[in-house]
Amino acid sequence: MLTRRLPLFFALLAFISAVTINLHAQSGRTAPTPTPEPSEDQEPVKVFTEEVRLPVVAFDDYGHFDPSLEMNDVLVLEDGVQQQIRSIRHIPASVLIVLDVDNQITVAKDTKTTREIALRLLSHLKNDDQVAVLQFGNGVKVLQNWTKETAGIPEVLRTQLFGGKRGRLSEAMVAAANMLKDRPAGSRHVVFITDGIETPGGKVSYNEAVKQLIAAQATVHIISYTALVRQAIEERKTKGPVSMGNGKMRDPNIGAPDPTMPTDISRGGARVTLVTIDTDRAMRRWYKKYSDSAKENEERLTSLAQETGGQILLPTLTDDMLAQADKVAGDIGAQYVITYRPTRPLASAKTGEYRHIEVAPRRTGVTLRTRRGYIAK
């Protein structure tokens, strides 16, 4: 009896299977394909974006921003080979303001002036720009992370910007490079307000810091105290250890001079300053060393700004220091972003490979400035 029922059972089972398969086919569903587990020996797949975003500043013959730049107006060379430009446009900028609050020296440089420069720069940036603020003095500190809402930044600068006793510019550069990594390429800017002095004992070398900042493809703008500080030190030096007084009475109401006192010094309560003697030789040597270091760092910072397509500004008056904020904001606002697909694919580049860039105007009356090159990752 059991033997007779077996064929009927198998026929029913086949019928149910056929109906199930048909229903799945009609609904468009398919059985999921299992994802193969990656082998430990497999190398990670590298994905290359075959596009270069090149920041270019455009001015006319009068130094004013040129708003009419078009693709046919620009020639781009990469390692001497002409590139085909795909687009040219403005995009919102990402501006990282880095404030040096190292107060080793108080001649011409002070935290209040640094704050005022930052506030003035902030007031000229566009509404769509993203802004962040770093300070370095007793270490590197983020005062404001990336934001479009800049209304609260002035209060942050007034209440959280404090002077320190060491200047580790290299560490600030590395921190800046890390903060810029997730910003849109082509619109990254760093504005340093600094004298460039490095306190010994930092965790990173200057050369390594510069390398990381260049790899971040940021345009570096520098408002430098170096010329202002060196000028102030030179003025102190010209006075020498001995300087003459002004010969004026301090208090005209003091009585007649004492006739018993020597005639070469002031009488009657030291009414007249005849001579001032600076006996602090160690301080004079320290100022000279600081001045020499400022000059050396000025040269290094100039090279960094030129490499990245930015500028270093070297005012000699405090009021001019404040005015440099206007120039930097104008530079940022005058920047275009040019895109092109390099004729030599980025996928073929070696790790750390550097490619040289040149731009030239194809239209008279236009001046262009960009970075000297980029690292093809």
| pLDDT at residue number 278 | 54
Decide if 219 is inside a domain: yes
Residue 157 falls within a domain, yes or no? yes
Number of domains in the chain: 1
Helices (H) and strands (E) in the chain, counts: 8, 16
Q: Residue 233: what pLDDT?
A: 81
For 78-104, how does the pLDDT look when each residue is reduced to its tens digit (9 = 90+)?
A: 999 999 999 999 999 999 999 999 876
Q: Show the DSSP H helices in the chain as ranges.
A: 2-27, 111-124, 153-160, 169-180, 206-215, 226-239, 281-308, 318-333
pTM for the complete prediction?
Answer: 0.76
Q: Which helix (H) or strand (E) holds 241?
A: none
- Strands 74-78, 81-82: pairing is antiparallel
Enumerate long-range contacts of 320-324, CB under 8 Å, 24 or more apart. Answer: 321/113, 321/117, 321/223, 321/225, 321/228, 322/113, 322/116, 322/117, 322/120, 324/117, 324/223
C-alpha closest to that of 308 among 215, 205, 181: 215
H or E element in which residue 88 lies: strand 85-89
* Separation CA 214–CA 304 (nearest Å): 8
Sheet with 81-82, edge to edge strand ranges? 81-82, 74-78, 353-361, 373-376
pLDDT at 241: 56
Residue 217 lies in a domain: yes
* Amino acid letter, residue 220: V
- Residue the block writes with tokens 């940022």: 332
Report yes or no on 246 lying in a domain. no
Q: Are 196 and 109 in contact (CB under 8 A)?
A: no
The enclosing domain of 168 has a CATH number of 3.40.50.410
- What is the sign of the dihedral through the CA atoms of 296, 298, 299 and 303? positive
Contact 249, 274 (CB under 8 A): no
Q: Is residue 199 part of a domain?
A: yes
Q: Which two tokens stand for residue 349?
A: 């580049």
Give the residue ranges of the chain where pLDDT is below 50: 1-13, 16, 18-48, 244, 247, 249-271, 273-276
Residue 88: inside a domain, yes or no? yes
Question: With the CA atoms of 179, 185, 191 and 196 taken in that order, what torsion angle do they form, in degrees rounded to the nearest 10?
Answer: 70
> Could you give the angle at which helices 206-215 and 169-180 cross, rounded to 10 degrees?
20
Q: Is residue 234 part of a domain?
A: no
Counting every residue, how long is the chain?
A: 377
Whether residue 187 is contained in a domain is answered as: yes
Q: How far is CA 317 from CA 224, 230, 310, in A?
A: 11, 11, 22
Question: 322 is in which domain, residue-wise?
Answer: 52-228+295-376
